[in-house]
Structures are given as structure tokens and as C-alpha cells.
């Protein structure tokens, strides 16, 4: 019968709180994290898997990288998640608020932000130059059959429809990655808008989370937005290839993202690195690491053990789970470096 | 009535015992506990206002009241202005009233003046139940039913007929001031109907009878006599609806498009105060950013206080006058 | 003497009156079409998993909202514990004890509290509970909703106590009861059914609140243990799932909307029936 376990669950949920209040040590450790929606699919997968592996329950709320940075700085969660490397100022603020404790960044996986679109009548993949993307998001390219888009897509019949730009309304590491790339390829973008988790968008509609952007693209004919690769894949959204620094049009996939990571030869000690717009053959130019943000000092021993245990698992065994979800594995050199950093958590 | 209270007074004076007797009997304790509860509410409200005010001082200090008139919202460069949000909040609420008030008042006229009392009671009961539907559910319905319906059936004809007006220019993406206004109007219409009907029923029957006896038609009696007599209360109901629309968060953020823009076109996406707080508060880093959002909250609070107070005064004056 | 009504006036009369009828039908039709759609669509999306399973990791289908259903229950329980006693006692104070000026101040402040937009209550909950305790929690969510319950609790209590006839108070006093005994053993029980249904309506009103929970209860993929951990609630789940692109999540959002609305409407109807059938003594 399905009823019995169900009923037991309900009982557990109603009675456990009272028991747990009385016996705080009896329950398994639980951790709370918040932040990036970009890696949320793999994180929720990891946390579901790790529950039985490490007897740790990790609750992850995907409220955007900005949300993750704020929550860990305010100390309202046990760890944060962001696909934007923290700025010097953000690290300084964290230290001020948390009695001088440092914050450590742990790369977990690699992913890509893809230009995803819903253009009626266009079935094949579109190709985008950096200039075209910058123009579209600046609002200077208004029609789908604009020469800048048509030039890169010979043979594709582009409609004379208006382009509806969709962007994130919340603070997002995906936005950072996207605007970081646009700033590198377009001086106009760099001076007018710049790069950050949220920017002053010159055009378009805002939607919350990668989910929200994907949802809006799906509903809105003639739209284009940027989402993490898996959100485009799992929602059957079309996404195009982007011209990289070496002039090739490359579509985001495991190989091209891994190639982007490999193109960066040295990784700084604090793992704060941007891998957008890297040169080289087969490199997807809008790729990024995504990071977990963990305080260097965790006073609760059980939580500290749970979190370090999880980190070790995630960068080793956990990597076996990432490829089915279209994320790229961490390079081996990064894993080795991270293992040393895990030991710093005290 | 007067004589019984007098007797009660006498009894109370006879029961006039010392403080300690009353303390032992529980009187003073009961009194103190209820008083404490009442004072606690004062404290809570004071705390809310204080909390909002202290947290919004960085913004007040940096931008002064220019914050309210600036339309820059650029967290990246630390520039914050409230105008697009105030504009969006007021525009969507105004739109909601524009649709909901005529419909609601007409419906309440029907319910109060024409429908058989039994039918009127049943319909009113159902309509009042609709006021209990949570805003997130209206948002759900907005995203999946109303926005597509507006896009497919409403905007084309509107543009065809009124396309020359600035308010119907530009492209329509579905998420817009117009969508938010329509969703809000559906949310507030039950309030307008239930309060307006109440106010209409409070208009003395003699007025109607006198008008009819003088040869007025039913409509003339309603339009020229009953509605003017109830007008203040009906305006009050509109204000009540306005207060609700202003503070509405979830339904609006789900359909308004979340873009801080000031444009005349109702078809373009916009933003509202409550929506920007819901979207950005959880992630606003930096004191100035947080404090700007909290100051927006304070502005919204202030707006609703004023509107609510006006509504209450208007409704009270008519129902009182009607009862006399 | 009969006054002739010209045909023109007769037509206007007919047209305008019909128009008001049409408006009524229109309003009711739109509202009920929408709710009907929710009910049909929601009921169709319901399945046993919805009540028994936890949410699945992103991208996998077949999860449920068992934790959010229980979560909403826990948050509401806490909200009642926080909001109702304060509101009830303050209502008793207003109805039975207070003088004119102070009562005016309190009523005014209660109105103010009632007018605070729900999103602002969320900010306050974050600033007063989440920040100092360094954790999103059931407690924070319960306190936020509890504050929202206070104004209605005060008003319904005061209203129903005032509806108790003075003769009952005088009778009790005449029999030698103290003021406290009179209030709590005679007046309050006389108004009990009204008070109960008032509280039910109050609870139904906050049950669907989403905005105050966004920054307080946050959300949880698992069962929330104790009262100090983040917790999933139905309204927040509806919001999150509705803006997601996943068809399976949309179905669950409809199902959750259906369940939430059904609960709220059942409570509303029950409470209103209790009030309507209440004992004569508690009616004016």
C-alpha cells in the first residue's frame, strides 16, 4: 500500500519537530544554502544523492547568485552559491560583518550561458557574433532580419519580426557571465552597461531565475534570452552558437566548455577567474565556473564536518553526476587545488 | 438602556473593594493582561515603523527626497530612484480601478436595488468568497490564462481601434502594465461590490419611494436619488480597493514584466514597489541598495495608510448618515 | 392622478437596468470561469504523489508537495499562537475595559497595522527575526503571519463581545461576580461561536499569503525539522513553480493552487455559516 509510508511521512513531519526540539542531537545534520540558479539542477541532484551518502540533509534554495552572496554575508545560511567570483569589495564586506573571517570560493562545475530564442519559422540553430548579441541586448538591433544577424546565418530565412529581449530581474551570476562576455566583445556595452550580477538593462523584459527566463522565452514569440545550458536543453528551447575569439561559431556543450576551462592556463589561488571569451579552437566563449561560498571558520563542529565532507565528495565522486545534466567536469588540477583549500576550513 | 447602566454603576460602586481584594479576585490581573496585549500592539507597530525608518536612513541621507523623483535604478553604479516603481504602482492600481469601479458599482446597483433579496444574498456571499482567494493564485491564473487571453483577444482589437493613442503604442509582450491592471481589477472587484452594496442598502427606502411616487422610473430613482446619496460611501469603497491594489505583491510581480521603465504605453512592461521588493530584497547587497528597497517599503506603507484612512472616513460618513 | 412616463424614459430605464444586470452577470461569469478553470485543471493535476512525495531534484518528474502541505500547517499554527492571543486580549480590552481616548488610539493603530502591505511585513520579519537569529526559519515565517493576524483578531473580538447584550454583564455582576469573572466566564463564552469563526476567517486569510514568507520561511526541499529551520509552504511553492518553465511543475502549481483554495473556501464557508446560525444572544 502506498498509504502506509505516506501516512508515516506525515506523522514524522508533525511529530518530529517536537522530538527534534527536545533531542537536538538525535537528528541528522541539516545545512541550508542559497544562491545561484545556474547550477541548481546539479546541486539539487547532489544534495538528494548525498543525503544517503553522508547522512546530511542539505536544503538549497535557488534565489540567484546575488541572493547567495547576500545570504552568506548576512550569515543567514550555511553556504552560498554564485556564478560570479566575489569582488574584492564583497570579500571585504564579508570580513567586516563576520569578525574578520575569510570567505572561501570552491568551484564545483563548469557551465555555459547560451543565447536561447523562440523565433517562429526558424528551425535550425542560429549563429551569433558577439557584435550581434551586444546589439540585440543594447536594443540597437531591433529586428530578427537585421543584417548583423543575417550575415552570420546565410540561407536562414529570418522573419521581419521585432526582437523581444528577456533578461534576469534578480541578481544573477548568469547575468554576470553574460555581461562579462558582452563587455569583452563590445566597447559600447562595456562603457554603457558594464558587468555585474544585475545591470541597468537598456532593453527587454525581466524574469526571475534561469527558470523564469526560460519560461518567458517559451511563452513569448520572437524572444531571445540567456540561460544556463541545461535550462535550454531540458525545456527544449532552441539555442544558438556564438562566435569565439578565434572566429569560430561554437555551440555550447561539454567539450566546448571544457575547452574554455583548459584555455585558462593558471588559476589564481582564490579561484576567482573569468573564462569568458577565451581564444582557441572549439572554445565556447560564454563559459564559467560556478562557486560555492563557504566561510573559512564554522564554529558548529557538526556543520563544519558535514560541509567539508560534502565538498570533498562533490569535487570527486560527485563529478560523475554532472555530465548527464550538461555541466562540464572540473579540470583535475583544480580539484587537487581545492582539496588543499578544504583543509583550511576550521 | 440608561437606567440599566445606572443600576450597573450602583452595583459597581457597591462592589468597590480595595486594590488587594480586586487583585486577589483576579480583576487587576485580567485588566493588566488585556492592557498589556493592547499596548503590545502599539509596540509592534512602533517597532515596524522604527525598523523601516532606521533602515532607510542611508537612502534618505544620500539622495534626500530626490529619491522619490529620480528614475535611475542602477544597483551596479549605486544609483537609486523610486519614480519608476511609484509610477508603476499608481498606474496599475489606477487601471484596476478604471475597470473595476464601473463594473463593480453597476453590479452592486443590481444586487441592492433590483435582484430579489434571496438571490442578492447568495450572489453577494459568492462574491465575498472570491475576496478570500489568495493573491498568488490570481498570479497563477494571470500567467497561464489571462495574459495569453489578453494577448490573443484583447490587444489586437484595442490597437486596431485606439492604436493612435500613446497609451496603446509599442509592442505587446503579454507581461505589461495592462495585464497587471486587469489582474488587479479582478482582485478588487469583490471588495467594491460588497462595500457598495452595503452602502446602497443603507440609503433609506423612503428616498426611493418618494422618487417613485413622484413619477420617476426605477432607473431615474437609482441614478438621481440613491446613487448620489450613497456616492461618498461608494468612493470610499473605491479607495479601499485602491489600498489593496497598491500593496498587492505576488499577482503583480508575476504579470507586470519587472522592468523599471516609465512610459505612457500600457502595453509595455513595468514594475511596482511591492514587486521590486519581492524580487530584489533577498539579494540586495550593499547598505544603500537594501535601504533603498526598505525606503520604498516605507513609501508604500505611507501611501496605503493615507488611502485607507480616506476610505474609512468616506464609508463611515455615508453609512452613518444613511442610518439616521 | 397618474404621471405618464414617456417611451424614451421607459427605454432608458429598461436599458440601464438591464445593463446593471449584465455587469453583474459579467463579473460573476469572469470570476467563476477563472475559478472553475482552476478547479478543473487543478483537480486533474492532482495525484497521490502530490500529497505524499517530496519535491524532486530539478528536471526530474513525479515529485510532490507533502512537505509544503505540512509546512503551511506548521507556519499557520505558529502564526495562530503568535497572533491570536494578543489580538484576542487586546480586543477584550477594547470591548470591556478601555476608556475613550486610549481606545481610539489603539483602534487607529490596529487599522494602521492592517494596512501594512504584506511585502513590508516580510521585510520586518527579515530584519527582526532572520537577521538577528542568523537563520531563515519556520519561526520567522510564523511571526510574520502572526503579526498579520493581529488586526483582524482584535476587530472581530471587539465586535463580537460588543454584540453580547449588556443585560448579561449586569446579571453576572448583580450575582456578585467580579469584573474579570463576568468578562471571561459570561461574556466571552456567550460570544464563543462568533469568536471561533472570526479566527477561522482570519486564519484562512493569511493561509494564502506569499510575500511575507519569501524572506522569512524561505523554502525547503526536505522535511523541515524543528521550528528553527527554513520550511516549504504551499503559496511559496505555487509562486516558484508557476514561474518555472517545466510543464510538470506547472501541473503541480495548479494542483497546489487547487488544494490551497479548496481549504480556504471550506474554512470560509464553514465560518460564515457558523456566524449566520449563531445563537441569538450573540447577535445585535
Please list the pLDDT of chain C residue by residue as tens digits (284 residues). 455 778 888 899 999 999 999 999 999 898 888 889 998 999 988 989 899 989 988 767 788 999 999 999 999 999 999 999 999 999 999 999 988 889 999 998 998 899 899 999 999 999 999 999 988 999 999 999 999 999 999 999 999 999 999 999 999 989 988 888 899 999 999 999 999 999 999 999 999 999 999 999 999 988 988 889 999 999 999 999 988 777 888 899 999 999 999 999 999 999 988 888 765 444 33
Q: Which residue has the cell 518530529?
A: A16
Q: Architecture of A112-262 per CATH? A: 3-Layer(aba) Sandwich (3.40)
pLDDT band at A2 (very low <50, low <70, confident <90, very high): very low
CB contact under 8 A, C117 and B301: yes
Note the pLDDT tens digit of each residue in A69-118. Answer: 999 998 999 999 999 999 998 999 999 988 889 999 999 999 999 999 99
The residue among B125, B94, B113 whose CA lies nearest residue B229 is B113
- Residues 6 or more apart whose CB falls under 8 angstroms from that of B49 comprise B301
**Residues of chain C found within 8 Å of residue A59, distances taken between Cβ atoms:** 219-222, 229-230
pLDDT of residue B18: 63
The residue among C249, C53, C252, C230 whose CA lies nearest residue C135 is C230
DSSP state of B168: G
CA-to-CA dists, residue C148 to A179, C42, C212, C245, angstroms: 41, 28, 9, 32
CB contact under 8 A, C120 and B136: no
CB contact under 8 A, C218 and A34: yes
- CA A211 and chain centroid, separation: 12
A41 touches A14 (CB < 8 A) = no
pLDDT band at A13 (very low <50, low <70, confident <90, very high): low
Report the chain A residue with the minimal C-alpha distance to residue C138: A17
Tell me the C-alpha distance between B143 and C257, whole Å.
13
Here the contacts of B222-229 (C-beta below 8 Å, separation 24 or greater) are: B222/B109, B222/B113, B223/C16, B226/B113, B226/B200, B227/B109, B227/B200, B229/B203, B229/B318, B229/B322
CB contact under 8 A, A59 and C220: yes
Tell me the C-alpha distance between A207 and C210, whole Å.
18
pLDDT of residue C115: 87
DSSP state of B163: T
A234 against C196, higher pLDDT: C196
Coil, strand or helix at B74: strand
B255 touches B142 (CB < 8 A) = yes
- Touching subunits for chain B (3+ Cβ pairs under 8 A): A, C
Written in H, E and C, the secondary structure of chain A is CCHHHHHHHHHHHHHHHHHHHHCCCCCCEEEEEEECCCCHHHHHHHHHHHHHHHCEEEEEECCCHHHHHHHHHHCCCCEEEECCCCCHHHHHHHHHHCCCCCEEEEEEEEEEEEEEEECCCCCCCCEECHHHHHHHHHCCCCECCCHHHHHHCCCCCCCCCECEEEEECCCCHHHHHHHHHHHHHCHHHHHHCCCCCCCCCCCCEEECHHHHHHHHHHHCCCEEEEEEHHHHHHCCCEECEEECCCCCEECCCHHHHHHHHHHCCCCCCCCCCCCCCCCCCCCCCCEEEEEEEEECCCCCHHHHHHHHHHHHHHHCHHHHHCHHHCCECCCHHHHHHHHHHHCCCC
CB contact under 8 A, C221 and A47: yes
Pairing verdict, β A103-118 and A223-228 = antiparallel
% of chain A beyond a pLDDT of 90:
64
Q: Domain C65-283 belongs to what topology?
A: MetI-like fold (1.10.3720)
pLDDT band at A19 (very low <50, low <70, confident <90, very high): very low
- CA C81 and chain centroid, separation: 15
Phi, psi (degrees; rounded to nearest 5) at A142: -105, -20
Chain C nearest C-alpha distance from A74 (Å): 7
Tell me the C-alpha distance between C271 and C201, whole Å.
6
Pairing verdict, β A56-61 and A29-35 = parallel
pLDDT of residue B324: 39
pLDDT of residue B15: 55
What's the half-sphere exposure (Cβ side, CA atoms, 13 Å) at B29?
9
Q: Domain A31-111+288-342 belongs to what topology?
A: D-Maltodextrin-Binding Protein; domain 2 (3.40.190)
Name the grid cell of B39.
499596548
Cα B114–Cα B119–Cα B123 angle in degrees, nearest 5? 100
B247 touches C118 (CB < 8 A) = yes
The residue among C219, C90, C227, C68 whose CA lies nearest residue C147 is C90
**Residues of chain A found within 8 Å of residue C245, distances taken between Cβ atoms:** 211, 214-215, 217-218, 231, 235, 237
pTM above 0.90, yes or no: no
Cα A286–Cα A292–Cα A298 angle in degrees, nearest 5? 165
Pairing verdict, β A205-207 and A164-168 = parallel
B28 touches B19 (CB < 8 A) = yes
Q: Please compute the mean of the pLDDT values over residues A199-214 and round it to a whole number.
A: 87
CB contact under 8 A, C238 and B15: no
Judge whether residue A66 has pLDDT over 60: yes
Tell me the C-alpha distance between B44 and A133, whole Å.
51
Name the grid cell of C94.
477594547
Q: Is B94 left (phi over 0), alpha (psi -120 to 50) or beta?
A: alpha
Coil, strand or helix at C91: helix
Tell me the C-alpha distance between A259 and A278, whole Å.
9
CB contact under 8 A, A32 and C226: no
Chain C nearest C-alpha distance from B38 (Å): 4
* Domain boundary assignment for chain C: 65-283
What's the half-sphere exposure (Cβ side, CA atoms, 13 Å) at C129?
28
Chain A nearest C-alpha distance from B189 (Å): 28
For the domain spanning B69-323, the CATH number is 1.10.3720.10
Tell me the C-alpha distance between A204 and A193, whole Å.
14
**CA dihedral of residues C45, C48, C51, C54 (deg, nearest 10):** -90
**Residues of chain C found within 8 Å of residue A27, distances taken between Cβ atoms:** 225
pLDDT of residue C7: 87
CB contact under 8 A, C86 and B11: no
Name the grid cell of B310.
480616506
Judge whether residue A17 has pLDDT over 90: no
Coil, strand or helix at B79: strand
Tell me the C-alpha distance between A237 and A221, whole Å.
12
pLDDT band at A278 (very low <50, low <70, confident <90, very high): very high
Judge whether residue A51 has pLDDT over 70: yes
A173 touches A288 (CB < 8 A) = yes
**Residues of chain C found within 8 Å of residue B141, distances taken between Cβ atoms:** 34, 37-38
Note the pLDDT tens digit of each residue in A294-310. Answer: 999 999 999 999 999 99
Judged by a CB distance cut-off of 8 A, whether residue C270 touches chain B is no
Judged by a CB distance cut-off of 8 A, whether residue A175 touches chain B is no
Judged by a CB distance cut-off of 8 A, whether residue A51 touches chain B is no
The residue among B248, B60, B82, B253 whose CA lies nearest residue C115 is B248
Name the grid cell of C191.
460570544
- Residues 6 or more apart whose CB falls under 8 angstroms from that of A1 comprise none
pLDDT of residue A203: 84
Beta bridge partner(s), residue A33:
A60, A79
Cα A268–Cα A269–Cα A270 angle in degrees, nearest 5? 95
Angle between helices C192-207 and C66-92 (to 10 degrees): 140
Which residues does chain B have with pLDDT short of 50? 1-2, 322-324
Report the chain C residue with the minimal C-alpha distance to residue A35: C218
pLDDT of residue A327: 93
pLDDT of residue C82: 94
CB contact under 8 A, B135 and C260: no
DSSP state of C281: G
pLDDT band at A171 (very low <50, low <70, confident <90, very high): confident
pLDDT band at A265 (very low <50, low <70, confident <90, very high): confident
Q: Please compute the mean of the pLDDT values over residues A264-285 and round it to a whole number.
A: 91
Coil, strand or helix at C52: helix
CA-to-CA dists, residue C144 to B219, C85, C131, C214, C239, angstroms: 48, 15, 14, 11, 18
Tell me the C-alpha distance between A323 and A327, whole Å.
5
* Domain boundary assignment for chain A: 31-111+288-342, 112-262
Beta bridge partner(s), residue A118:
A223
Amino acid at each position: 500500500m502506498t498509504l502506509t509510508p505516506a501516512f508515516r511521512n506525515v506523522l514524522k513531519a508533525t511529530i518530529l519537530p517536537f522530538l527534534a526540539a527536545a533531542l537536538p542531537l538525535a537528528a541528522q545534520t541539516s545545512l541550508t544554502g542559497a544562491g545561484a540558479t545556474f547550477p541548481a539542477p546539479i546541486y539539487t541532484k547532489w544534495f538528494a544523492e548525498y543525503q544517503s551518502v553522508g547522512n546530511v540533509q542539505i536544503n538549497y534554495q535557488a534565489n540567484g547568485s546575488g541572493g547567495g552572496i547576500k545570504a552568506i554575508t548576512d550569515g543567514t545560511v550555511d553556504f552560498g552559491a554564485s556564478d560570479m567570483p566575489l569582488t574584492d569589495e564583497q570579500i571585504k564586506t564579508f570580513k567586516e560583518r563576520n569578525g574578520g573571517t575569510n570567505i572561501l570560493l570552491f568551484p564545483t562545475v563548469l557551465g555555459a550561458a547560451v543565447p536561447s530564442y523562440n523565433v517562429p519559422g526558424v528551425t535550425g540553430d542560429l549563429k551569433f557574433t558577439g557584435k550581434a548579441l551586444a546589439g540585440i541586448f543594447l536594443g540597437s538591433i531591433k529586428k530578427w532580419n537585421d543584417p548583423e544577424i543575417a550575415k552570420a546565418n546565410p540561407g536562414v530565412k529570418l522573419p521581419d519580426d521585432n526582437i523581444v529581449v528577456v533578461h534576469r530581474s534578480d541578481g544573477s551570476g548568469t547575468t554576470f557571465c553574460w555581461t562579462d562576455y558582452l563587455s569583452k566583445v563590445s566597447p559600447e556595452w562595456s562603457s554603457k552597461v558594464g558587468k555585474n550580477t544585475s545591470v541597468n538593462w537598456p532593453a527587454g523584459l525581466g524574469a526571475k531565475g534561469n527558470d523564469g527566463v526560460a519560461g518567458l522565452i517559451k511563452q513569448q514569440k520572437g524572444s531571445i534570452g540567456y540561460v544556463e545550458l541545461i535550462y535550454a536543453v531540458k525545456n527544449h528551447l532552441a539555442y544558438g552558437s556564438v562566435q569565439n575569439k578565434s572566429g569560430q561559431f561554437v555551440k555550447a556543450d561539454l567539450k566546448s566548455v571544457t575547452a574554455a576551462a583548459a584555455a585558462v592556463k593558471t588559476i589564481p589561488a582564490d579561484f576567482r577567474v573569468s573564462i569568458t571569451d577565451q581564444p582557441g579552437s572549439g572554445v565556447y566563449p560564454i563559459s564559467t565556473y560556478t562557486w560555492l561560498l563557504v566561510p573559512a571558520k564554522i564554529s558548529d563542529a557538526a556543520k563544519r564536518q558535514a560541509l567539508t565532507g560534502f565538498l570533498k565528495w562533490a569535487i570527486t565522486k560527485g563529478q560523475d553526476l554532472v555530465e548527464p545534466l550538461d555541466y562540464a567536469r572540473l579540470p583535475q588540477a583544480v580539484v587537487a587545488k581545492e582539496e588543499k583549500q578544504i583543509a583550511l576550513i576550521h | 438602556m440608561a437606567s440599566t447602566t445606572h443600576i450597573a454603576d450602583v452595583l459597581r460602586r457597591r462592589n468597590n473593594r480595595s486594590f488587594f481584594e480586586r487583585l486577589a479576585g483576579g480583576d487587576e490581573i485580567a485588566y493588566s493582561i488585556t492592557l498589556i496585549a493592547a499596548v503590545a500592539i502599539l509596540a509592534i507597530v512602533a517597532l515596524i515603523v522604527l525598523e523601516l525608518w532606521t533602515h532607510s536612513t542611508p537612502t534618505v541621507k544620500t539622495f534626500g527626497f530626490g529619491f522619490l523623483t529620480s528614475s535611475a535604478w542602477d544597483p551596479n553604479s549605486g544609483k537609486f530612484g523610486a519614480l519608476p516603481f511609484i509610477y508603476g504602482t499608481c498606474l496599475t492600481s489606477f487601471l484596476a480601478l478604471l475597470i473595476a469601479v464601473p463594473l463593480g458599482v453597476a453590479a452592486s446597483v443590481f444586487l441592492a436595488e433590483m435582484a430579489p433579496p434571496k438571490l442578492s444574498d447568495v450572489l453577494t456571499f459568492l462574491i465575498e468568497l472570491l475576496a478570500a482567494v489568495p493573491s498568488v493564485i490570481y498570479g497563477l491564473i494571470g500567467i497561464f490564462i489571462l495574459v495569453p487571453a489578453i494577448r490573443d483577444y484583447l490587444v489586437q482589437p484595442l490597437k486596431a481601434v485606439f492604436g493612435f493613442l500613446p497609451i496603446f503604442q509599442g509592442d505587446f509582450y503579454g507581461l505589461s502594465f495592462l495585464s497587471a491592471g486587469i489582474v488587479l481589477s479582478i482582485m478588487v472587484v469583490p471588495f467594491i461590490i460588497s462595500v457598495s452594496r452595503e452602502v446602497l442598502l443603507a440609503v433609506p427606502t423612503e428616498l426611493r419611494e418618494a422618487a417613485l411616487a413622484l413619477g420617476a422610473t426605477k432607473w431615474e430613482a437609482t441614478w438621481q436619488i440613491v446613487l448620489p446619496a450613497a456616492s461618498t460611501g461608494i468612493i470610499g469603497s473605491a479607495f479601499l480597493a485602491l489600498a489593496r491594489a497598491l500593496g498587492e505583491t505576488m499577482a503583480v510581480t508575476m504579470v507586470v514584466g519587472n522592468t523599471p521603465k516609465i512610459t505612457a504605453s500600457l502595453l509595455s512592461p513595468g514594475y511596482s514597489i511591492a514587486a521590486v521588493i519581492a524580487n530584489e530584497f533577498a539579494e540586495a547587497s550593499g547598505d544603500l541598495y537594501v535601504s533603498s528597497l526598505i525606503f520604498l517599503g516605507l513609501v508604500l506603507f505611507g501611501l496605503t495608510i493615507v488611502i485607507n484612512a480616506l476610505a474609512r472616513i468616506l464609508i463611515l460618513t455615508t453609512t452613518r448618515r444613511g442610518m439616521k | 392622478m397618474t404621471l405618464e412616463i414617456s417611451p424614451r424614459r421607459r427605454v432608458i430605464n429598461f436599458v440601464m437596468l438591464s445593463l446593471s444586470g449584465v455587469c453583474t452577470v459579467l463579473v460573476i461569469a469572469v470570476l467563476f470561469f477563472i475559478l472553475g478553470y482552476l478547479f478543473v485543471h487543478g483537480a486533474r493535476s492532482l495525484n497521490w504523489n502530490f500529497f505524499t512525495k517530496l519535491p524532486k531534484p530539478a528536471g526530474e518528474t513525479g515529485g510532490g508537495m507533502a512537505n509544503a502541505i505540512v509546512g503551511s500547517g506548521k507556519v499557520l499554527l505558529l502564526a495562530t499562537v503568535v497572533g491570536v492571543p494578543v489580538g484576542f486580549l487586546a480586543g477584550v480590552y477594547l470591548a470591556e475595559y478601555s476608556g475613550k481616548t486610549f481606545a481610539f488610539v489603539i483602534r487607529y493603530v490596529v487599522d494602521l497595522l492592517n494596512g501594512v502591505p504584506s511585502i513590508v511585513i516580510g521585510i520586518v520579519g527579515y530584519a527582526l527575526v532572520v537577521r538577528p537569529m542568523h537563520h531563515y526559519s519556520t519561526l520567522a515565517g510564523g511571526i510574520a503571519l502572526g503579526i498579520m493576524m493581529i488586526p483582524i483578531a482584535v476587530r472581530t473580538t471587539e465586535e463580537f463581545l460588543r454584540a453580547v447584550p449588556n443585560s448579561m454583564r449586569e446579571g453576572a455582576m448583580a450575582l456578585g461576580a467580579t469584573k474579570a469573572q463576568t468578562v471571561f466566564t459570561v461574556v466571552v463564552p456567550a460570544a464563543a461561536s462568533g469568536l471561533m469563526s472570526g479566527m477561522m476567517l482570519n486564519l484562512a486569510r493569511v493561509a494564502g499569503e506569499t510575500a511575507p514568507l519569501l524572506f522569512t520561511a524561505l523554502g525547503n526541499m526536505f522535511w523541515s525539522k524543528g521550528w528553527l529551520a527554513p520550511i516549504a509552504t504551499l503559496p511559496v511553492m505555487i509562486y516558484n513553480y508557476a514561474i518555472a518553465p517545466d510543464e510538470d511543475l506547472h501541473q503541480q502549481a495548479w494542483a497546489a493552487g487547487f488544494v490551497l483554495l479548496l481549504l480556504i473556501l471550506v474554512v470560509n464557508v464553514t465560518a460564515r455559516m457558523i456566524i449566520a446560525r449563531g445563537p441569538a444572544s450573540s447577535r445585535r
